Structure 1
Amino acid sequence: MLRLELRRGVASKRRKSMTQRRAFHWPQPLEGQQARIWYGGDYNPDQWPEEVWDEDVRLMKKAGVNLVSVGIFSWARIEPREDVYDFDWLDRIIDKLGKTGIAVDLASATASPPMWLTQAHPEVLWKDYRGDVCQPGARQHWRPTSPIFREYALKLCRAMAEHYKDNPYVVAWHVSNEYGCHNRFDYSEDAERAFQQWCKARYGTIDAVNDAWGTAFWAQHMNDFSEIVPPRFIGDGNFMNPGKLLDFKRFSSDALKAFYIAERDTLAEITPGRPLTTNFMVSSGNTTVDYDDWGNEVDFVSNDHYFTPGEAHLDELAFSASLVDGIARKDPWFLMEHSTSAVNWRPINYRKEPGQLVRDSLAHVAMGADAVCYFQWRQSKAGAEKFHSAMVPHAGEDSQTFRDVCELGADLNTLADNGLLGTRLAKSRVAVVYDYESEWASEHTATPTQQVHHIDEPLQWFRALADNGVTADIVPVRSNWDEYEVAVLPSVYILSEETTRRVRDYVANGGKLIVTYYTGLSDEKDHIWLGGYPGSIRDVVGVRIEEFAPLGTDWPGTADHLDLSNGAVAHDFADVITSVGKNATVLASFQDDPWTGMDGRPAIVGNTYGEGRSVYVGARLGRDGIAKSLPAVFASLGVEAADASDPRLLRVERKDEATGTKFTFLFNRTHGPVETSEEGEPIVTSLAKADGGKLTIGPNGVVVVKR
């Protein structure tokens, strides 16, 4: 048993403070209108001559658009010279939109500074880790820690808020845009001073910093906070202090958050009744900032998501949307940006297949979004994103894209008419835990293998569970994962003392826990839990690991895989499990040449602990191997192997707890038609047919059934 009692009180206070959230505050409809699912996108009227505006409004009404985001990158137009403001054009378009019944999500316009500002104050430009200055010419070329840039940005916020505080058509503030998309890390002198202050606030003494960073190694001991420098360039092939690097990632997230809070509070002081948000970039592969931490600071969570091309498209979208729902703690959330078809920023920009425009949007709605917006309304004819798809493409109104946009608008109105607003994503029985800090720590360049990070594993578990008929909830590590019937910790590299306590209490009190390789190697300081892996929960999972067996092909003769006795195959990584607990049962073993030392070793182990059970998966099995292993894993945990769901379909349910009304969304995960039945009334179909009680859902198809 771990001796954690002395610090539990401190940890509990820390957890309580981390989970305090702003009250949920959703944008309200314009006066005289009913609440609907918000539908629209980024609108950039300043990119077009004014005679196009009336045509835009006509097409918006035709498509069912009821909200647009305006002014996101308009600082240079709003303030063309210092202290000279031009609101006339913005007044005209907001008035035109509002009088037609289209609400405005108004940006603070601070996302990118104008040329006059950066020429007058080049010291606001961020520096990379080699000390090179990021020059203007794109976007987000500002330092989050620059007091000069903050002064100018907050002055613009005050001007915007004062001018539009009484405007009846502005229903929300869109604060900046995608914080950290390009300026996540800054290594400037401003950042150095701010990092020193952040370390002092976090640790109190320089000795505590030395302990956290393990500076006894390589003579890195510091005598004063002034000796702390950002993790700048240290030479090719060298290794940065992992504790410093992890803290710099935490600091960078906090520095951007502090800038957002300054903007938010400036706007809120002048317009106290208007909700505020900023658009996150939550996806399976994006850990720019700690979005769960940021979720505490917005009035409503909003997200930008862009599809993954190929066979993972739907599953990755559903995974990411579920994570947003977890960050929002099941309050409604706002899909602020996604694409009608191709993006412009990949080496190859694949288009969406027929039906995916509607299906993708409805998948976000299924996962809890009460707003569906795109980047952008009208496709640009010039600039860096002119090949990014839009609601009105270059081809114009007479296009399949715009016809699909209109179809989606009608579908969203149908859902609202049938009472979808007010429902929430129904809770799954399985939670898959996602942890931003575990990913940051596992990104270090001196680890057992560069092929394994935390971020690789949660999506594979989500997909494998779906292959077994279970649509899991993706939840942040700070959330209520310990209130689910089954919880999965997939390569959660960091287990803090507080998270360790939660794991132990969860299983001891009857929880069913699945833990994978690379979980619980370190504490929150990235100090290894000693005594054998996973150090802080060895007795909970019933295994002791002495070393790792990475797999690869970079040297002749090295093993690139290990077979398991259950037919699964391990790639990239395996644990050398040297002993199992007295209450443990080996569910699968490795099969290999005897001389390797892996043949016959445990690979998957079930265990009992207190009133609960656990299963430890000691290798990277991938989606197929996890799916193959799950029936035995569930049997060991004492739960049914699958819900009553066809694994060819992704089944998602939103529910009104007060009335019991349910909306079941059925998405085809295959490239062939799927026949099924579902009790209730089909109210929305796309690439699908309803014939009596039988549903036929085609590729990229979806059916929504009300019951």
Structure 2
Amino acid sequence: MVDSRSHRWPQPLKEQPSRIWYGGDYNPDQWPEEVWDEDVELMGEAGVNVVSVAIFSWSKLQPREGIYDFDWLDRVIDKLGKAGIAVLLASATASPPLWLTQEHPEVLLRNERGDVIWPGARQHWRPTSPIYRDYALQLCRALAEHYKDNPTIVGWHIGNEYGCHNRFDYSDDAMRAFQDWCKQRYQTIDAVNEAWGTAFWSQHLDNFTQILPPRYIGDFNFMNPGKLLDYKRFSSDALKAFYMAERDLIQEITPDLPITTNFMVSSLGSTLDYDDWGREVDFVSNDHYFSPGEQHLDELAYSSALVDGISRKEPWWLMEHSTSAVNWRPINYRKEPGQLVRDSMAHVSFGADAVCYFQWRQSQAGAEKFHSAMLPHAGKDSQVFRDVCELGEDLRLLSEEGLVGTTLAKAPIAIVQDYQSEWATEHTATPSQHVRHWTEPLDWFRALADLGIRADVLPISAAWDTYQAAVLPAVYILDEANSQRVRDYVSGGGKLFVTYYTGISDERDHVWLGGYPGSIRDVVGIRSEEFIPMGSDEGALNYLQLDNGAVAHDMADVITSVAASARVVASFQAPKHTGLNGLPAITVNTFGEGKAAYVACKLGREGLVLSLPELFTEMDLTFEQAGGNGDILRVEREQQETGTKFVFLFNRCDHEIELDLAGEPLVASLAGVDDGHARIDPNGVIVLKDEKEASASL
């Protein structure tokens, strides 16, 4: 087991109570100094108690090589501290100043074609550049030495969204670092050849100097899958090594201040291995921006559940989200009334003890000038700012009622997420480009929510095998250790749901032989010989009907043998000429003391809702909330020692929901309670406290 850093949380300023942290990125260097006093005053009005400063301020802090200017930042921090507003101080290394890249253009990224990524945006530096690291660490040292005794600073915000724009670099610095990474991982070049299957296409390597980054190989060619998977691992590790160098230097000078950096966890694919990174921060932080449309709340809840899983149920920090529209989509939709408060409460319900935005004051110029902020272009006389103030008051109340220090209650079922499977299934030579690991877990999360069941979302290295039931959704890579965990879990009495595209390859992306799912066929009790990709091309199979009424799209399995210990729950209905009619689509196998269901096709949210109730019966599973009202997302935070419970009730629908409620809510946004009868409007939320008040009849 890899060691993790002990959880350390930023502590309140002297003589201030412990509260949910509330604020956002603050960029005073974008504004004349006369604006700063107004900012601090309005922050107090909104209930802001923390801001992150200097995230992109390198050129302001170090206008020329060897020349530092901290006077302006001293004045800002002094104003904030006197107003009782704490500071997370950034290392300011996210983007280099122009004098540095002009003097040392060799620190700039190169893309896969070898083109230089020039200054003009942000994060245009190489993670493996020793020159860039030296300059960054000089700045870190200067900042840490200057502010090491400042009482307003409660923690460090290192870098910013590592890998957002510089995940992959193909320079010679990166090449040499990748060669060293491969030496450390494999020890011998023969081991690299074995891992990458270089016998294919005459790619045999004689020595480590022949290892290149996955540079451009033509528009219609396929990169070696093992090499590409390792390059994604290497790129995550290279950025992590850069972060750790900054962290370790700063920690040496300010050992009492906790350190974090902001992840970008969502359901839609990942940049880095955030579970691995989660072991290297004192507290997990995340940036999350809403998905427009009807999945808005569910995707947010799924992502927050995954952050809680990465944090192992320790409090985590919502470092960035938006008050309304962002600036980087083709269409930047605004948030609907109520969603500013509702979204923040959803993050809090899943374990966030800090709610922060990008950013405090909306920029007047630059690429993010149309990105919403806590104080918009319209100023304080705006609905956004009124909602910001309402949220500040809600968070103050929840803090006073004791929410801080409670944790997300354990759900009855865990959905497993795996970054390695995500990266492997991104390759361009797979059975279907419409199927990735990340395309399946959210469907399960939403389907379970439709059935009134909340799920936890856990990285594969976490303790998913301590749950009553668990889901392996298209977990393409299962190494021997995790395959054995599956066997031990089910044989010991666990109830496991396994889908198509699970257990296909080992950690090297070598296919397990003998039929799918190769590494756990004995557990699920079936054997599939072939994939059934489905699509919309003329004459192609574009869906498969199941005899239980569900419909499969995109991917299915050709199951040709079923163990005597397994029962077929649903079968495919297909034209005779396809050879698929009557083949198993859903099975349940008894394995030791437990049971494993196999879902041999992509059913989507609707098909899972149709199919799961019968599967629960087959697997002897009962859930307290099963059969409840899927219109409500119910999330609980609890204090184990005292039994105190906070219950969050969110409206998942586009219509008003009515329910009976015992007790008065602490928070009621777009909701109301009258004599035990509650109404929650679309985008509304109610928060209750304690056992009595939590007994909502849904």
Q: TM-score range by the shorter chain?
A: over 0.9
Q: Could you list the per-position Cα deviations for residues 645-698 of structure 1 after superposition, in whole angstroms to 9, with x for gaps in the alignment?
A: 310000000000000000000000001111113444411100000123221111
Give me the identity figure in percent.
Answer: 70
Deviation (angstroms), 1:633: 1.4
Letter matched to residue 588 of structure 1:
A
Letter matched to residue 614 of structure 2:
A
CA distance in 1, matches of 2:670, 2:296: 17
Match of 2:443 in 1: 460
Secondary structure in 2 matching 1:515? strand
Which of residues 611, 614, 638 in structure 1 aligns to 2:596? 614
Contact 1:678/1:705 (CA < 8 Å) preserved in 2?
Answer: no
Letter matched to residue 212 of structure 1:
A
Residues 119-518 of structure 1 mapped to structure 2, 5 A cutoff = 119-518=102-501
Deviation (angstroms), 1:641: 5.6
Q: Could you list the per-position Cα deviations for residues 471-516 of structure 1 after superposition, in whole angstroms to 9, with x for gaps in the alignment?
A: 1001100000000000000000000111101001000100000000
CA distance in 1, matches of 2:172, 2:236: 18
Match of 2:694 in 1: none
Match of 2:653 in 1: 670
1:629 aligns with 2:604: no
CA distance in 2, matches of 1:101, 1:67: 9
Which of residues 592, 595, 603 in structure 1 aligns to 2:585? 603
CA distance in 1, matches of 2:171, 2:661: 59
CA distance in 2, matches of 1:696, 1:47: 44
Match of 1:542 in 2: 525
Which of residues 549, 557, 581 in structure 1 aligns to 2:539? 557
Residues 515-530 of structure 1 mapped to structure 2, 5 A cutoff = 515-530=498-513
Number of equivalences: 689
1:657 aligns with 2:640: yes
Secondary structure in 1 matching 2:518? coil
CA distance in 1, matches of 2:664, 2:484: 46
Q: Could you list the per-position Cα deviations for residues 276-296 of structure 1 after superposition, in whole angstroms to 9, with x for gaps in the alignment?
A: 000000011131000000000
Match of 1:40 in 2: 23
Which of residues 558, 566, 572 in structure 2 aligns to 1:576? 558
**Structure 1 unmatched runs, 5+:** 1-15
Change (3 A) 1:679 1:613: farther
Letter matched to residue 682 of structure 2:
P
Q: Could you list the per-position Cα deviations for residues 416-445 of structure 1 after superposition, in whole angstroms to 9, with x for gaps in the alignment?
A: 011101100000010000111101000111
Structure 2 length normalisation: TM-score? 0.98
Change (3 A) 1:647 1:38: same
Deviation (angstroms), 1:595: 1.3
Contact 1:187/1:230 (CA < 8 Å) preserved in 2?
Answer: yes
Contact 2:269/2:422 (CA < 8 Å) preserved in 1?
Answer: no
Secondary structure in 2 matching 1:536? helix
CA distance in 2, matches of 1:213, 1:609: 34
- Structure 1 runs (4+) greater than 3 angstroms displaced: 678-681
Letter matched to residue 665 of structure 1:
F
Letter matched to residue 596 of structure 2:
S
Letter matched to residue 448 of structure 2:
L
1:648 aligns with 2:631: yes
**Structure 2 unmatched runs, 5+:** 691-698
Contact 2:412/2:623 (CA < 8 Å) preserved in 1?
Answer: no
CA distance in 1, matches of 2:466, 2:155: 33
CA distance in 2, matches of 1:296, 1:633: 36
Which of residues 663, 666, 678 in structure 2 aligns to 1:683? 666
Contact 2:19/2:404 (CA < 8 Å) preserved in 1?
Answer: yes
CA distance in 2, matches of 1:551, 1:100: 61
1:589 aligns with 2:571: yes
Q: Could you list the per-position Cα deviations for residues 359-382 of structure 1 after superposition, in whole angstroms to 9, with x for gaps in the alignment?
A: 000000000000000000000000
CA distance in 1, matches of 2:661, 2:507: 46
Secondary structure in 2 matching 1:574? strand
Residues 55-94 of structure 1 mapped to structure 2, 5 A cutoff = 55-94=38-77
Change (3 A) 1:585 1:642: farther
Contact 2:649/2:686 (CA < 8 Å) preserved in 1?
Answer: yes
Match of 1:3 in 2: none
Residues 92-111 of structure 1 mapped to structure 2, 5 A cutoff = 92-111=75-94
1:29 aligns with 2:12: yes
Aligned CA-pair RMSD: 0.7
Contact 2:475/2:501 (CA < 8 Å) preserved in 1?
Answer: yes
Deviation (angstroms), 1:328: 0.2
Letter matched to residue 21 of structure 1:
S
Match of 1:8 in 2: none
CA distance in 2, matches of 1:666, 1:617: 31
Letter matched to residue 239 of structure 1:
F
Structure 1 length normalisation: TM-score? 0.97
CA distance in 2, matches of 1:127, 1:642: 54
Contact 2:572/2:585 (CA < 8 Å) preserved in 1?
Answer: yes
CA distance in 1, matches of 2:449, 2:292: 19
Letter matched to residue 618 of structure 1:
A
Deviation (angstroms), 1:634: 1.0
Deviation (angstroms), 1:642: 6.0
Secondary structure in 1 matching 2:323? coil
Contact 1:630/1:641 (CA < 8 Å) preserved in 2?
Answer: no
CA distance in 2, matches of 1:633, 1:368: 30
Deviation (angstroms), 1:632: 1.1
Contact 1:651/1:665 (CA < 8 Å) preserved in 2?
Answer: yes
CA distance in 2, matches of 1:678, 1:437: 44
Letter matched to residue 621 of structure 2:
V
